[in-house]
Amino acid sequence: MTQQSEAITTKFVQAYSELNKHNLSILEDLYDNDVVFEDPAHRMEGWDSLHQYFTRLFSAVTECDFDIHESVSQGDVAYLQWTMSFSHPRIDGGKQRKVRGCSRLEFANGRVIHHRDYFDMGEMIYEGVPILGALVRHLKASL
């Protein structure tokens, strides 16, 4: 791991540990203008698109916090294991939900150029929807 990658990873972990709907601007220093962001439901290119995504996401939830448990980096790539805790008024009656996931980050020129999140959409959303949630939990248990 290069010193620069270690510094970026540390800065990323710190920013996401402090992230909330009132300080989204702290992310701007992390990401390259041409960043590519992907998760199970989205793909966007460019900081402006990513910033709009985070603005919509955080305006829709009552709370959203990240607890990053582990980070491993090699060269210009880092992996983070995390738990996201969030509440959404239309999911699971607004109760807090926890979702475990992993992020893969690629760095260049001191910034994140590619960010891919891996997590279970069923765990995040579908299990919190009445009727559908019971079906998803049943399917997962039978596998």
pLDDT under 70 in the chain at which residues? 1-2, 121-140
> Among 27, 45, 39, which Cα is nearest to 113's?
45
For the chain, list the domains and their CATH numbers.
Answer: 3-142 (3.10.450.50)
CA dist 48 and 23 (Å) reads 16
Residue 6's pLDDT is what? 87
Residue 109's pLDDT is what? 92
Residue 131's pLDDT is what? 55
Name the DSSP class of 126.
G
Instruction: Report whether 19 contacts 27 (CB < 8 A).
Output: yes
Q: Is 39 exposed, middle or buried (0-12, 13-18, 19+ CB in 10 A)?
A: middle
Residue 33's pLDDT is what? 97
CA dist 85 and 77 (Å) reads 25
CA dist 111 and 5 (Å) reads 9
